[in-house]
Amino acid sequence: MKAGKITYSIRDQKGARFDASFHMSDGLVVRRMIAKSPYGLLNINDVSSEVFYGIRAKRVYVSSLIHGIPFLSSSDILKSDVNNVKLASKSLTLGVEQMSLKKGWTLISRSGTIGNCAFANAKHAQKLASEHVIRLVPNNILRGGLVYAYLASKYGHSLLTQGTFGGVIQHIEPAFVESLPIPKFPDSFQEIVDNLIQNSARLREEAIETLIIAENILKKKAELCELTSEDYDYYGHRNSKRSVSCFTRQIKDVGTTTINAFNHSERIRNVKSHIHCQTRMLKEVLLNGDTFSTGSFPRIEVKAGNGIMLINQKDIFDTIIKGKYISKRGVKADNLVDYGEVLVAGVGTLGENETFCRTIFANEDLEGQLISGEFIRMKTIEEIPSGYLFAWLNSDYGFRFLRNIQAGTKLCRPIPKLVLELPVPIIDKESMAEIDSLVREAHTKRHWANQKELKAISLVEQEIEKWNN
């Protein structure tokens, strides 16, 4: 519990706010720290040409990228892959221009979980975002990367969350963001921080392009065509012209594992017929012929930075992973992730934009980390590189095969036996090695990108702390 009193002069700093959450927030402490800047202060309004959140407009969602534009929510802006999102109709969605994003902007979540920031790279550009995302357009009075690093720092986050209002759902407004103080950092310092952020953004763009190259090689070598939404069953937006999925199966084709019609889909059977190269069952390419999981362990929460960080499905798909910290007591060292493991999100719902059944390659960021027991974990035999298996399961084919074998009502899980029977295309060794190398390169670039961004944010925090020692 916090207790304190305020004077009229303090209240005058930000108008007629009388709620204790504002005056007792960390934001006021940070304001006093920022006020000690030896370089003078500006407001965010001074260093931006515009701070806004687009428009509120009726949106019509579609299932095809041909007819739609990727539409990001306030949580989507934090993801490392911004492609698996909802698609807003190009022709029926109003205000597309006002909702579009551009490279170099700082994106801020304004509703629900407030104050999370992302630096828009080329993969965000031309996508749309909801009114729950505040856009900050830099004007180069202070460099754009520096402004982002400042707002993404722990001090910037405290300032952003100080201005929340609302009952059930909290918000902040562009006018409040514009009013926030920002030190007028020297040009040399700005250049260092901005270069780190710009290089980080470029590495993330290169990582995505590298993964696309890897998938294209796989599909070319395995002679796989591109899938459309007509090729598989799914839960999501569809048009009235889509044919009903209706088929018959003989008892001998059903077996004892499942009678669920979705697991015996005619569409997915046709997709499997697209694979003309040699295949092996997943269990034949896995170490010990099976998947595994982290298992259960005590979850005693401790302060951030103590104990060990636990990563769950919600956190692991973010650009920079931030889990919760738990005590190391009862956590076995052999449960920690090894570099090169293939991880599949093993619990979730069937929405097209959900992370359920999405695949992760364990790179340097995940090595030695503790992940929750909901992940399906895989290690491959020496003959099949793990990067190649990731590229296959991460493709539209692998994802649809995994989704097709789920069972459950509200929370679904892949059926373990059917997971092990999934087909894995076997192409020539040289191509598998090339794909593996590209996957590792892409994920190392993501690691470097994260390191550069974290270093930029740390430099800003250290500079502020120097004024207060």
The domains of the chain are located at 8-204+450-466, 223-426
Distance CA 179, CA 171 (A): 16
Nearest partner of 268 among 306, 216, 232, judged by Cα: 232
Q: How far is CA 321 from CA 80, 308, 369, in A?
A: 10, 13, 11
Per-residue pLDDT at 42: 96
- Rounded to 10°, the helix 386-394/187-221 angle is 80
Whether the CB-CB separation of 342 and 380 falls below 8 Å is answered with yes
Q: From 206, 220, 231, select the one nearest 399 (Cα to Cα).
A: 231
Q: What is the mean pLDDT of residues 404-408?
A: 92
pLDDT tens digits for range 160-196? 998 666 555 677 899 999 999 999 999 999 999 999 9
Using the predicted structure, report yes or no on whether residue 335 has a pLDDT greater than 70: yes
Burial class (CB in 10 A: 0-12, 13-18, 19+), 211: buried
Q: State residue 234's pLDDT score.
A: 83
Strands 68-72 and 128-129: parallel
Range name among 55-69, 104-118, 327-341, 387-401 with the lowest pLDDT average:
55-69
Taking the CB of residue 4, how many other CB atoms lie within 10 A of it? 8
Element (H or E) spanning 439, and its range? helix 429-466
- Cβ(189)–Cβ(463) below 8 Å: yes
Q: How far apart are CA 30 and CA 163, in angstroms?
A: 13
More confident residue, 82 or 398: 398
> Where are any strands of DSSP class E within 128-244?
128-129, 133-138, 181-183
Q: Which of 108, 53, 36 is nearest to 77 (CA)?
A: 108
CATH class of 223-426: alpha beta
Residue-by-residue DSSP string for 222-261: TTPPPP-GGGS--BS---TTSPP------HHHHTTT---G
Strand order in the sheet with 133-138: 48-52, 133-138, 106-109, 117-119
Closest C-alpha to 354, from 113, 160, 73: 73
Residue 11's pLDDT is 45
354-380 per-position pLDDT tens digit: 999 999 999 999 999 999 999 999 999
- Report which of residues 217 and 239 the model is more confident about: 217
The reported pLDDT for the residue numbered 414 is 95
Q: Is 35:181 a contact under the CB 8 Å cutoff? A: yes
Rounded Cα gap, residues 430 and 416, in angstroms: 31
Q: How confident is the model at residue 141 (pLDDT cuts 50, 70, 90)?
A: very high
Predicted local distance difference test score (pLDDT) of residue 19: 59
Indicate the SS3 state at residue 378: strand
Query: 95 and 117 in contact (C-beta within 8 Å)?
Result: no
Range in 143-157, 167-181, 307-321, 447-461 the model is least confident about:
167-181
State in words which class domain 8-204+450-466 has: alpha beta
Considering the entire predicted model, what is its pTM?
A: 0.91
Helix (H) or strand (E) holding 281: strand 279-281
